C-alpha cells in the first residue's frame, strides 16, 4: 500500500531548497575546480612528460608499475571526474542535503575530490623533465600535501555550508486494533532503489575491469567484498509482531531485533541516508539505521537507543507495533 | 503485508491466511516475484501450527497465486485478470474513481470492505 507523504509547509520547502542549492553549488564547484586544476596541469606540462609514467608505488616510495603516459593521464582524469560525480549522483538521489550529516558528507565528497586531484597533479608534475619514470619517487612530503589539501578543502566546505534543518515532526501513529482473540503480524521489506543497485553494479564492473587490467590478485578480494555487500545490503526482511520488531538481510546476515517489552516509543519519521552517513546498515552510537532510501521510515526507541528502518509501509508497521504495545500495557481493544 | 487472523472466527485459520495474502497482493504490499515469509516463521509469528500455514500456502499454490519451490520458498506469481467482463469493470471503476477524485488507496480500501461484507 502506498501512503501519501504529508506536504511539508512552504517555509520548510523553501529552506530545503536553499540548503540544496548551497550544497550542490559548493560540491559541484569543488569538483569543477579540481578538474580544472588537473586540466591546467596537463596544459602546463604538455610535451615535457616521458612516454611512460609511474602509476603505482611500493612502501618505500619506489615505483613498481608503469603505464603509457596518455593512458595514465586519461585514467587519472576519469577518476578525478567520475568518482565525485558518481558520489554526487548517488547521494543526490537520496537528497543528502536534508540529512543530519549533510555537511560532513559534502565535506567528505569535496575532500576526496581534492585529494585525488592533488595526488594526480603532484604525480604528473613529478614526471616533468624526467627521462626515466623509474627515477620518480613518492615522498612523504607529497603525501602530506595531498592530505593537507584534502583536509583544508573539507574544512572549508564545512565552514561554507549551513547547519542541517531540524528533523520534521514525526507523523502520528494510528495503532492497529488488536482484539483479545486476534493474532496480527506485519511482514515488510526495506529495499534499495534501482539507482543504488545500478550504481553498485556499475562500480563493481569498473573494479572488475581495473582488476583484470592491473592483474593484481588481491583486487579480486575487493570485487568479492563488493558483491557480498551488494547481496547483503540490497534488501532486508522486517517482521513486526507480538514479540517486537525483527530485521534481517535477505541473505540472512546482518540481522537484529528489538523486543516489544523494551520499546519506549514508536513513530514514523522522514529520513535520508544523510542522517546516517550513507546507505545500508548504519551503526552509530545509540542508533542503528537500516537505510535503503530517503522518505518515510519506522523509528523504534528502546531506552536510550533507536532503530530506524526505511520499510515500505512504515505507517502500518508502526500501527501494528503500537497496537501490540498498547495491548501489552492492557490498553488494547 | 498485514496478516490478521481471528482465532474465534468460524472461518478456518488457513483460509484467513489465504485471504490476508491475497489482500496483500491486491493492495500492492507484496509484488510478483516477492517471497512470502517462510512457513515456520509465519507460524511462529502468528502462534499457529506450521501445518496451518503449509495448508494455506498449498491452497495459494493450487490457485496459481504463488509458486512453491524447494530452497526458494513461496514466491508470488504475476497474474492477469483473464475474464474480459471483470477487466472491463475494472477499467470502468478506475475511470469513475479518477473522475470522482478517489485515490487508488481509497479504492483498495473500498474493495477490501466490500469483500469483507
Q: Report CB contact under 8 Å: A187, B3.
A: yes
Contact with chain B for residue A73, Cβ under 8 A: no
Q: How far is B92 from chain A (nearest CA, A)?
A: 22
ipTM, 2 decimals?
0.73
Mean pLDDT, residues A282-294 = 90
Residue A108 in grid coordinates: 567528505
Partner residue facing B45 (CB), from A185, A312, A313: A185
Confidence band of A333 (pLDDT split at 50, 70, 90): very low
Instruction: Choose among A1, A4, A239: nearest Cβ to B45.
Output: A239
Query: Residue B47: closest CA among chain A residues belongs to which residue?
Result: A183
Residues A167-224 have pLDDT tens digits of: 777 878 889 989 889 999 999 999 887 777 887 788 888 888 888 877 778 888 888 8
From residue B6, alpha-carbon distances to B9, B11, B15, B16, B48 in Å are 5, 8, 11, 8, 11
Buried b (16+ CB within 10 A) or exposed e, A159-198: ebbeebbeeeeebebebbebeeebbbbbbbbbbbeeebee
Q: Residue A288 to residues A208, A241, B10, B12: CA-CA distances in angstroms?
A: 32, 20, 43, 40
Residues of chain A with C-beta less than 8 angstroms from the C-beta of B29: 1, 188, 312-313
pLDDT digits (tens, 9 = 90+) for A243-273: 999 999 988 888 999 999 999 999 999 888 8
Q: Which pLDDT does position A229 carry in this prediction?
A: 81
**Interface contact A187-B7, CB threshold 8 A:** no
Residue B80: per-residue pLDDT: 61
The pLDDT value given to residue B87: 72
Are the CB atoms for A170 and A139 separated by under 8 Å? no
What the block records as the C-alpha cell of B80 is 492477469
Mean pLDDT of chain A: 86
What pLDDT shows up at residue B81? 57
Distance of alpha carbon A184 from alpha carbon A180, whole angstroms: 11
What integer is the mean pLDDT of A303-309?
94
List, for residues A126-146, the tens digit of each pLDDT value: 999 888 888 888 888 998 999
Banded model confidence at residue A331, pLDDT cuts 50, 70, 90: low
The per-residue pLDDT for A3 is 44
B75 touching chain A per CB within 8 A: no
Q: Does A204 touch chain B (CB under 8 A)?
A: no
Express each pLDDT in B27-44 by its tens digit. Answer: 888 888 888 999 999 999
Residue A96 has pLDDT above 80, yes or no: no
Beta strands in chain B (DSSP E): 2-6, 66-69, 73-76
Ranges of H-type helices in A215-245? 219-233
* Residue pLDDT, tens place only, A152-181: 999 999 999 988 887 777 878 889 989 889
Q: Which of A323, A320, A247 is nearest to A289 (CA)?
A: A247
Which candidate, B7, B54, B94, places its Cα nearest to that of A184?
Answer: B7
The more confidently predicted of residues B60 and B116 is B60
Kindly report the pTM of this predicted structure. 0.69
Amino acid at each position: 500500500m502506498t501512503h501519501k507523504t504529508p506536504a511539508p509547509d512552504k517555509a520548510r520547502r523553501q529552506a530545503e531548497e536553499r540548503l540544496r542549492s548551497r550544497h550542490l553549488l559548493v560540491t559541484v564547484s569543488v569538483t569543477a575546480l579540481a578538474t580544472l586544476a588537473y586540466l591546467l596541469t596537463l596544459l602546463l606540462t604538455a610535451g615535457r612528460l616521458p612516454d611512460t609514467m609511474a602509476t603505482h608505488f611500493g612502501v618505500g616510495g619506489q615505483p613498481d608499475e608503469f603505464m603509457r603516459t596518455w593512458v595514465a593521464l586519461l585514467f587519472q582524469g576519469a577518476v578525478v571526474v567520475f568518482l565525485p560525480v558518481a558520489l554526487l549522483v548517488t547521494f543526490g538521489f537520496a537528497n543528502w542535503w536534508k540529512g543530519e550529516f549533510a555537511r560532513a558528507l559534502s565535506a567528505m565528497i569535496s575532500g576526496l575530490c581534492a585529494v585525488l586531484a592533488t595526488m594526480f597533479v603532484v604525480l604528473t608534475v613529478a614526471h616533468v623533465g624526467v627521462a626515466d619514470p623509474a627515477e620518480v619517487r613518492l615522498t612523504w612530503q607529497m603525501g602530506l600535501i595531498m592530505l593537507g589539501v584534502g583536509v583544508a578543502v573539507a574544512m572549508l566546505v564545512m565552514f561554507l555550508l549551513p547547519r542541517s534543518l531540524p528533523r520534521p515532526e514525526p507523523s502520528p501513529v494510528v495503532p492497529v486494533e488488536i482484539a483479545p482473540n486476534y493474532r496480527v503480524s506485519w511482514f515488510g521489506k526495506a529495499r534499495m532503489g534501482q539507482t543504488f543497485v545500478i550504481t553498485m553494479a556499475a562500480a563493481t564492473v569498473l573494479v572488475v575491469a581495473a582488476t583484470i587490467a592491473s592483474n593484481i590478485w588481491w583486487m579480486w578480494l575487493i570485487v568479492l567484498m563488493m558483491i557480498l555487500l551488494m547481496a547483503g545490503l540490497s534488501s532486508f526482511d522486517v517482521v513486526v509482531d507480538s514479540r517486537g520488531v525483527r530485521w534481517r538481510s535477505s541473505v540472512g546476515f546482518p540481522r537484529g531485533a528489538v523486543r516489544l517489552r523494551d520499546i519506549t516509543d514508536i513513530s514514523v519519521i522522514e529520513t535520508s541516508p544523510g542522517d546516517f552517513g550513507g546507505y545500508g546498515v548504519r551503526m552509530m552510537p545509540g542508533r542503528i539505521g537500516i537505510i535503503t532510501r530517503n522518505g518515510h521510515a519506522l523509528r523504534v526507541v528502546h531506552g536510550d537507543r533507536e532503530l530506524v528502518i526505511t520499510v515500505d509501509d512504515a505507517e502500518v508497521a508502526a500501527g501494528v507495533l503500537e497496537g501490540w504495545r498498547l495491548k501489552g500495557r492492557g490498553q488494547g481493544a | 503485508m498485514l496478516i490478521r487472523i481471528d482465532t474465534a472466527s468460524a472461518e478456518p485459520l488457513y483460509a484467513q491466511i489465504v485471504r490476508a495474502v491475497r489482500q496483500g497482493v491486491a493492495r500492492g504490499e507484496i509484488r510478483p516475484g516477492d517471497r512470502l515469509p517462510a512457513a515456520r516463521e509465519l507460524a511462529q509469528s502468528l502462534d499457529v501450527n506450521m501445518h496451518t500455514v503449509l495448508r494455506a500456502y498449498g491452497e495459494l499454490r493450487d490457485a496459481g497465486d504463488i509458486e512453491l519451490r524447494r530452497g526458494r520458498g513461496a514466491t508470488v506469481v504475476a497474474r492477469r485478470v483473464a475474464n474480459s467482463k471483470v477487466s472491463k469493470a475494472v477499467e470502468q471503476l478506475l475511470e469513475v474513481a479518477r473522475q470522482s477524485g478517489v485515490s487508488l488507496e481509497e479504492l483498495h480500501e473500498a474493495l477490501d470492505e466490500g469483500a469483507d461484507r
